Structure 1
Amino acid sequence: MSVTVSAKMEGGKVSRVKVHSLLSVVSGSPVAPGKVHILSPLDRAMGHHTIHIVFYYESNPFKDGPFPLDIDNLRVSLSKLLDEYPIVTGRLTRGAEGGWQVRCNDAGVRILQATVNTSMDEWLRSADASEERDLTLWEDMPQDPSYWSPFRIQINNFECGALAIGLSCTHMHADMTSATMLIKSWTEVHSGQPLTHSPIFNLPPPPSSHGNFVPSFTALHSPITPANMGTVTMKFSGSVIENCLLQVQSQCPDATPFDVLVAIFWSRIARWQEPSFNNHKCSLSICVDSRSAGHPEVPFGYFGNALHFSVLYVDADKLLSCGLGQVSQYVHSHVAKARADEFWSVMRWLDEHSNEGEGPFTIYGPRLTCINMEHMAVAENGTALMYAASFKKGERPIHVSYHVGKVEGQGLIMVMPSAEGGLARTVTVMLPEEEITNICKDQTILDLEPKMIVSGKR
């Protein structure tokens, strides 16, 4: 199908991204008739949100000779990949008990081709988050999703010959890790390599004993006041993070980059936001991935949602007055105490309440939420998972951007590895617009010399 779309940005400005074609790619081997995948209780709880990822490459891995894009080359490797991911090509439907499931009918994945009317260097300097979303154009799920593709891949060609691959999907199908693994697996198929982590779609039975941990995101039912949200992405060098870790060593000797960056941003944001008080305590929702050594029952190749949310409470006066080391210790201790049985207890609670009209939930709000992506920092040969997504040997992404759709309330902070490697980290912050302005002017953060990426800030 040939289409031409000039996306309109906020304020009526015409985007530099123009989508000019749309097609579907199906798997190379037909799926067995009648195959159905039942979404987990946690998958269904995430139905309010979407995942959007953009991989930026300095050269086009699909280029063949003088042609800007060898579409057949792209389709062949993607079709082979989809043989391993039948739920990606399927369609959502309601099961006998009313819950969402995937009918694995091999209806295919939507592929959009687009041109970007600038160079990649200029784009990374001048584009903001709202324009970047044009690299992952999305259509919300219709009332009848039987013909609607829950996965969309957008191939964006820049004037300089660079390429950005955008992936969008429902959060019901995948979290950040499994969506990243989908693209990384595509690069492995494209280069003729075996999959590092073959996808696993069903978790093993939970341990026989687990606690009674009620999901933190079910505790707040008060209406959320709508607000225009802004986004800023900052890159912090490895040397800056190393200095921060040395600064907090006496109070938090085992601090991670996540601990100190969350401590910095939370303590600064708390000065502007009206905090969520509970007996004079401020609260922070912390999201960790259960694909870790502490959760051996959740394999790294699990394709679905393996996120665990818990809430850290700190006395408001302490948060605003104590130093970076103490706040880092609060964060570090909370993450370290997250137990494997809490994840399984949440799954059980959601399953038991699935017929009571519970969910989907606004997971990323109303509390300020922080996503810990430290588990993706070292995937192979010292390279972070997202930066190991190489279609050609030696040509890794120069930047990977993550966005969660429909963030509300007090906002979201994502701490993830940077292309630089080592201790360098990228922080994407989504807050009400006036607070984004405060973040960009905050002297404590500016003293760390962050580099703004896709933030509309120079």
Structure 2
Amino acid sequence: MADVKSRVNVHSKTTVVSSKPIGPGKVHRFSALDHATGLHTLHIIFYYRTNPFHGSNYSFLDSFWVSLSEVLCLYPQSTGRLHRGEDGNWFVKCNDAGVRMLRATVGATLDEWLRSADATEERDLTVWEDMPDEPDIWSPFRIQINDFEGGGVAIGLSCTHMHADPTCATTLIKSWAEVHQGVPLAHPPLTLPLAPRRCLSPNTDTKSIKYYATKSKAETVSVKMATATFSFPDSAIKQRLIEVHEKCPDANPFDFLAALFWMRVVRLKEPTHDHTSSLSICTDFRKLMDAPLPYGYFGNALHFSLLSLDSEILDNGRLGHVVEMVHNHVAGLAEEEFWSAIDGLESQKEEMGQYAAPFRMYGPELTCVNMEHMIIPTGANESSSYQSLMYAAMFKKDEKPFHVTYHVGNVEGEGLILVVPSPEKGLSRRVTVTLPEEQIAKLCEDQALLDLEPTMLISGRK
């Protein structure tokens, strides 16, 4: 079959540098956790109904160029270039080389795109490049501005996962929007790497260390993957949480959706003799530490933990029980586990101080990413209203993105599930699922999911 021509046409490329030069000799060193994610890339797409850069006091080009140049002064690690130190570890030489900027036109209206595009085509809205062997002239951050016919724009951000996790990559775009509006940054960047604990006998005998050691040795088979995004309304999630309330009264939308999708995906697999099924749960630990990290902490603050259940429990429809198990697992994550995982990665350094080779953090088990932490209060007390970080990236007042998509590159294994806040208030959520191609087609027709009356986004389904 002939390749279908992309509707995304990249027509210009340039480089945007910070408006103020970085002082000589400044470097940014990566943590052990940053290095461990080195096989992956991160891609985020912010969709806007109207072009946020039109109607300003500048021309279109100058409008986003000026504000981006200003915010890049605060993120020198994004404008620098990667180098290897004498110890063999990566670091960023903050040399003002700049961020690669691309502009593109999309041969469809925004609504046509959301109805007809699939995840493969959506990739064209961002840059997908693996880090070259010699990246000293390669931009690790790329921003692509995509104009749709009839108005609307998608801003795609791509970067190495070693530089940033979903939270700090989101705050980078949000900070850009705040500079563009001329308002103070809500979450200014903290760019110090996450240092290991300075203790004489770090705990290296925990579940986390054993799990990471297993992951680092796991082999995966590369298969063709496909992706679909489900948007679930507040009313459906609220009703299902009521139904499982007796079993798990404190369940939140993530607990329910992680359990539901886990159960449905297990049913799609070929039967095996293995009597257990496992789910890897990815949790951001910024606010789970005794001394919390700010949302602006720039680096990786993710923890992967394993939940295993008897396959019979997952296969016989006991949803409330699985919701309870997911909830208790996430609620039971302790700071000691986060630190022990970091200690374990640090302990694997070679004699000269080089970190161990990166491995597939997202896999080999089915992995589910919890992004409930992205919903934050807008005031100082419990009665405050809440907003989601990604939908607060407003380049114009009160004009927030109406959809934000997250993708992780180089995912292999059983698949990836991202449970993301929705722009609608309440309990509505959006779930992006990446599975082997034959499984995703069946999942999109799964009646247990269709009963929740989801809207399908970027799935190619009419």
TM-score (ref. length: structure 1): 0.94
Compared CA separation, residues 65 and 205, structure 1 to 2 (3 A): closer
* Contact 2:31–2:195 under 8 Å retained in 1: no
Counterpart of 2:266 in structure 1 is 270
Question: How many Å separate the matches in 2 of 1:52 and 1:218?
Answer: 27
8 A contact 1:215–1:310 mirrored in 2: no
DSSP 3-state at the match of 1:134: helix
Whichever residue aligns with residue 99 of structure 1, its letter is: N
Relative to structure 1, the CA distance from residue 418 to residue 215 in structure 2 (aligned partners, 3 Å threshold; closer, same or farther) is: farther
Aligned equivalent of 2:327: 332
- Do the aligned partners of residues 295 and 413 (structure 1) sit closer, same or farther apart at CA in structure 2, a change above 3 Å counting? farther
* Separation (CA, whole Å) in 2 of partners of 1:416 and 1:384: 9
Q: Unaligned 5+ residue runs, structure 1?
A: 1-9
**Would you say 1:368 and 2:366 are equivalent positions?**
yes
Q: What is the distance in 1 between the residues matched to 2:211 and 2:273?
A: 15
Relative to 1, partners in 2 of residues 1:151 and 1:333: Cα closer, same or farther, differing over 3 Å?
same
SS of equivalent residue, structure 2 residue 238: helix
Q: How does 1:5-404 map to 2 (within 5 A)?
A: 11-64=2-55, 70-202=60-192, 203=194, 206=197, 211-212=203-204, 213=206, 214=209, 216-220=211-215, 221-274=217-270, 280-355=275-350, 358-378=356-376, 380=378, 381-404=385-408
User: Residue by residue, what CA displacement relative to the aligned partner does 1:318-356 show, whole Å, maximum 9, x if unpaired?
Assistant: 221251110000100000111112111111111121327
Shift in CA distance, 373/210, structure 1 to aligned 2, threshold 3 Å: farther
C-alpha contact (below 8 Å) 1:125/1:454 kept by paired residues: yes
Distance 1:431 1:94, change over 3 A: same
**Kept in 2: contact 1:57–1:396 (CA 8 A):** yes
Contact 1:92 1:101 in 2 (8 A): yes
Q: Bigger shift: 198-207 or 179-188?
A: 198-207
Look up the equivalent residue of 1:244 and give its one-letter code: R
**1:94: how far off?**
0.5
| CA distance in structure 1 between the aligned counterparts of 2:198 and 2:333, rounded to whole angstroms | 16
Q: Quick one: distance in 1 between partners of 2:276 and 2:326?
A: 15
State the secondary structure of the residue aligned to 1:331: helix
Q: Secondary structure of the residue that 1:111 maps to in structure 2?
A: strand
| Inter-partner Cα distance in structure 2 for 1:396 and 1:426 | 16
What is the SS of the residue equivalent to 2:287?
coil
* TM-score normalised over the length of structure 2: 0.93
Residue 65 of structure 1, CA deviation? 7.7
Quick one: distance in 2 between partners of 1:148 and 1:339? 38
Confirm or deny that 1:452 pairs with 2:450.
Answer: no
* 8 Å contact kept, 2:203–2:343: no
Q: Which residue of 2 aligns with 1:7?
A: none
Larger deviation, residues 376-385 vs 28-37: 376-385
SS of corresponding position for 2:357: coil
CA distance 1:172–1:446, shift in 2 (3 Å): same
Instruction: Report the alpha carbon displacement of residue 217 of structure 1 after superposing the two structures with TM.
Output: 3.7
Does structure 1 conserve the Cα–Cα contact (< 8 Å) formed by 2:212 and 2:341?
no
1:76-134 CA distances to partner (integer Å, 9 max, x unpaired)? 10011011000000111001200111111110000000001111011011100000000
Task: Out of 84-93 and 215-224, give the one that drifted further.
Answer: 215-224
| Unaligned segments of structure 2, at least 5 residues | 379-384
Tell me by how many angstroms 1:413 deviates: 0.3
TM-superposed CA distance for 1:215, in Å, is 5.8
With over 3 angstroms needed to count, the CA separation of the structure-2 counterparts of 1:409 and 1:11, relative to structure 1, is: farther
After alignment, is 15-24 or 295-304 more displaced? 295-304
Q: Matches of 1:255 and 1:207 in 2, distance apart?
A: 36
The CA deviation at 1:295 is: 4.8
- Encode CA deviations 1:152-177: one digit per residue, 9 max, x unaligned: 00000111111110000000000000
Deviation string 1:397-442 (CA, Å, 9 cap, x unpaired) is 0100110001111000000101112210000000000110110111
Q: Is the 8 A contact 2:45 2:125 kept in 1?
A: yes
Alpha-carbon shift at residue 311 of structure 1 (Å)? 0.1
| Alpha-carbon contact 1:276-1:283 (below 8 Å) kept | no
Distance 1:118 1:249 in 2: 44
Do the aligned partners of residues 168 and 379 (structure 1) sit closer, same or farther apart at CA in structure 2, a change above 3 Å counting? farther
Aligned AA (1:138): W
- Match of 1:292, SS? helix
Q: Percent of aligned pairs with the same residue?
A: 54
Tell whether the 8 Å contact from 1:210 to 1:341 is kept in structure 2 after alignment: no
Letter in 2 for 1:285: S
Instruction: Name the CA shift for 1:366/1:274 in 2 (closer, same or farther; >3 Å).
Output: farther
Instruction: Judge conservation of contact 1:384–1:421 (CA < 8 Å) in 2.
Output: no
Judging changes above 3 Å, is the alpha-carbon distance between structure 1 residues 64 and 276 closer, same or farther for their aligned structure 2 residues? farther
Matched residues in 2 for 1:403 and 1:65: separation?
31
CA 1:440–1:96: 2 relative to 1, 3 Å: same
Report the 3-state secondary structure (helix = DSSP H, G, I; strand = E; otherwise coil) of the residue aligned with 1:117.
strand
Aligned-residue offset at 1:211: 3.6
Moved more, 216-225 or 371-380: 216-225
- Please report the RMSD computed on the Cα atoms of aligned residues, expressed in angstroms: 1.9
The answer to whether the 8 Å contact 2:190/2:296 transfers is yes
Say if 1:210 and 1:342, in contact at 8 Å, map to a contact too.
no
Q: Partners of 1:59 and 1:354 in 2: how far apart?
A: 49
Q: Distance in 2 between matches of 1:150 and 1:18?
A: 22
> Counterparts of 1:205 and 1:141 in 2: how far apart (Å)?
26
Counterpart of 2:381 in structure 1 is none
SS of the residue corresponding to residue 77 of structure 1 reads helix
